[in-house]
Amino acid sequence: MEILLGQEEANPDKPDKDGRTPLLKAARGGHETVVKALLGRGEVNPDKPDNDGHTPPSYAASYAREGVVDILLRQEGNPDKRDNNGRTPLSLAAKGGHEAVVKIPPRREDVNDGPSKDYQTLLLYAASESAT
Protein backbone atom coordinates (compact mmCIF):
# COMPACT_ATOMS: atom_id res chain seq x y z
CA MET A 1 0.00 0.00 0.00
CA GLU A 2 2.76 2.45 0.93
CA ILE A 3 4.53 1.80 -2.38
CA LEU A 4 1.35 2.55 -4.32
CA LEU A 5 0.63 5.67 -2.28
CA GLY A 6 4.20 6.85 -2.82
CA GLN A 7 3.75 7.07 -6.58
CA GLU A 8 3.12 10.62 -7.80
CA GLU A 9 0.40 9.58 -10.25
CA ALA A 10 -1.52 7.67 -7.58
CA ASN A 11 -4.86 9.27 -6.77
CA PRO A 12 -5.98 7.84 -3.43
CA ASP A 13 -9.35 9.59 -3.62
CA LYS A 14 -10.36 8.37 -7.09
CA PRO A 15 -13.67 6.47 -7.05
CA ASP A 16 -14.67 3.37 -9.00
CA LYS A 17 -17.80 3.20 -11.20
CA ASP A 18 -19.99 3.03 -8.08
CA GLY A 19 -18.34 6.08 -6.55
CA ARG A 20 -16.45 4.01 -3.96
CA THR A 21 -13.02 5.32 -3.06
CA PRO A 22 -10.13 3.30 -1.61
CA LEU A 23 -10.87 4.91 1.79
CA LEU A 24 -14.52 3.86 1.63
CA LYS A 25 -13.56 0.26 0.81
CA ALA A 26 -10.93 0.16 3.55
CA ALA A 27 -13.44 1.58 6.05
CA ARG A 28 -16.04 -1.00 5.09
CA GLY A 29 -13.47 -3.77 5.50
CA GLY A 30 -12.23 -2.51 8.85
CA HIS A 31 -8.65 -2.08 7.63
CA GLU A 32 -7.40 0.46 10.16
CA THR A 33 -3.81 0.56 8.90
CA VAL A 34 -4.95 1.26 5.34
CA VAL A 35 -7.42 3.90 6.55
CA LYS A 36 -4.62 5.67 8.43
CA ALA A 37 -2.29 5.48 5.43
CA LEU A 38 -4.91 6.92 3.08
CA LEU A 39 -5.84 9.69 5.51
CA GLY A 40 -2.14 10.48 5.80
CA ARG A 41 -2.40 11.81 2.28
CA GLY A 42 -3.91 15.27 2.62
CA GLU A 43 -6.04 15.01 -0.51
CA VAL A 44 -8.25 12.18 0.80
CA ASN A 45 -11.73 13.30 1.84
CA PRO A 46 -13.01 11.33 4.86
CA ASP A 47 -16.61 12.14 3.89
CA LYS A 48 -16.59 11.55 0.14
CA PRO A 49 -19.84 9.70 -0.64
CA ASP A 50 -20.39 6.90 -3.13
CA ASN A 51 -23.25 6.98 -5.64
CA ASP A 52 -25.72 5.99 -2.90
CA GLY A 53 -24.53 8.74 -0.58
CA HIS A 54 -22.69 6.34 1.77
CA THR A 55 -19.50 7.76 3.27
CA PRO A 56 -16.52 6.01 4.87
CA PRO A 57 -17.95 6.75 8.36
CA SER A 58 -21.36 5.34 7.37
CA TYR A 59 -19.85 2.11 6.00
CA ALA A 60 -17.61 1.70 9.04
CA ALA A 61 -20.58 2.26 11.36
CA SER A 62 -22.82 -0.13 9.39
CA TYR A 63 -20.25 -2.91 9.58
CA ALA A 64 -19.39 -2.29 13.28
CA ARG A 65 -15.80 -1.22 12.52
CA GLU A 66 -15.28 0.59 15.83
CA GLY A 67 -11.59 1.36 15.33
CA VAL A 68 -12.19 2.79 11.87
CA VAL A 69 -15.14 4.90 13.06
CA ASP A 70 -12.93 6.35 15.78
CA ILE A 71 -10.11 7.12 13.32
CA LEU A 72 -12.49 8.77 10.84
CA LEU A 73 -14.16 10.93 13.48
CA ARG A 74 -10.73 12.05 14.71
CA GLN A 75 -10.00 13.12 11.12
CA GLU A 76 -13.08 15.33 10.93
CA GLY A 77 -15.37 12.67 9.51
CA ASN A 78 -18.92 13.96 9.77
CA PRO A 79 -21.25 11.84 11.94
CA ASP A 80 -24.22 13.82 10.58
CA LYS A 81 -23.63 13.36 6.84
CA ARG A 82 -26.75 11.66 5.47
CA ASP A 83 -26.89 9.09 2.71
CA ASN A 84 -29.47 9.22 -0.10
CA ASN A 85 -32.05 7.72 2.29
CA GLY A 86 -31.40 10.31 4.99
CA ARG A 87 -29.49 7.96 7.30
CA THR A 88 -26.42 9.06 9.26
CA PRO A 89 -23.49 6.87 10.34
CA LEU A 90 -24.81 6.90 13.90
CA SER A 91 -28.33 5.88 12.82
CA LEU A 92 -26.89 3.02 10.74
CA ALA A 93 -24.93 1.78 13.75
CA ALA A 94 -28.02 2.03 15.97
CA LYS A 95 -30.15 0.22 13.38
CA GLY A 96 -27.62 -2.60 13.20
CA GLY A 97 -27.44 -2.92 16.96
CA HIS A 98 -23.76 -1.97 17.03
CA GLU A 99 -23.70 -0.59 20.54
CA ALA A 100 -19.91 -0.20 20.68
CA VAL A 101 -20.00 2.06 17.62
CA VAL A 102 -22.91 4.10 18.98
CA LYS A 103 -20.91 4.69 22.16
CA ILE A 104 -17.92 6.18 20.32
CA PRO A 105 -17.99 9.86 21.18
CA PRO A 106 -18.53 11.89 18.02
CA ARG A 107 -16.34 14.69 19.43
CA ARG A 108 -19.17 17.07 18.62
CA GLU A 109 -22.03 18.32 20.70
CA ASP A 110 -24.33 18.97 17.75
CA VAL A 111 -24.97 15.43 16.48
CA ASN A 112 -28.24 15.52 14.58
CA ASP A 113 -31.00 13.07 15.52
CA GLY A 114 -33.39 14.25 12.82
CA PRO A 115 -35.41 11.55 11.09
CA SER A 116 -34.31 9.71 7.95
CA LYS A 117 -36.51 9.55 4.85
CA ASP A 118 -38.41 6.67 6.47
CA TYR A 119 -39.04 8.88 9.54
CA GLN A 120 -36.70 6.92 11.81
CA THR A 121 -34.69 8.64 14.55
CA LEU A 122 -31.75 7.28 16.53
CA LEU A 123 -34.03 6.32 19.38
CA LEU A 124 -36.42 4.49 17.05
CA TYR A 125 -33.53 2.60 15.46
CA ALA A 126 -32.09 1.70 18.86
CA ALA A 127 -35.49 0.48 20.06
CA SER A 128 -36.17 -1.64 16.97
CA GLU A 129 -35.97 -5.42 16.85
CA SER A 130 -32.57 -5.41 15.12
CA ALA A 131 -30.91 -3.27 17.79
CA THR A 132 -29.66 -4.50 21.14
pLDDT (tens digit, 9 = 90+) per residue, 20-55? Answer: 999 999 999 999 999 998 998 778 999 999 999 999
Q: Which residue has the higher pLDDT, 75 or 125?
A: 75
In eight-state DSSP terms, residue 86 is S
Q: What is the pTM of this model?
A: 0.77
Task: Return the number of other C-beta atoms located less than 10 Å from residue 102's C-beta.
Answer: 23
The mean-pLDDT minimum among 1-10, 65-74, 97-106 falls in: 1-10
Mean pLDDT along residues 76-89: 87
The rounded Cα 54 to chain-centroid distance in angstroms is: 7
3-state secondary structure of 95: helix
Task: Give me the residue spans of the domains in the chain.
Answer: 2-127
Instruction: For domain 2-127, give its CATH number from 3.40.640.10, 3.30.70.520, 1.25.40.20, 3.40.50.11540.
Output: 1.25.40.20
Residue with the bigger pLDDT between 102 and 44: it is 44
Name which of 36-40, 92-96, 123-127 the model is least confident about: 123-127
Please list, residue by residue across 21-51, b when 16 or more beta carbons sit within 10 angstroms of its beta carbon and e when fewer do: bbbbbbbbebbbebbebbbeeeebebbbbbe
What mean pLDDT comes out for the span 53-78? Answer: 92
With 50 as the cut, is the pLDDT of residue 131 above it? no
Q: If DSSP codes are grouped into helix, strand and coil, which group holds residue 8? A: coil
CA atoms within 13 A on the CB side of 15: 17
In this predicted structure, what is the pLDDT of residue 53? 95
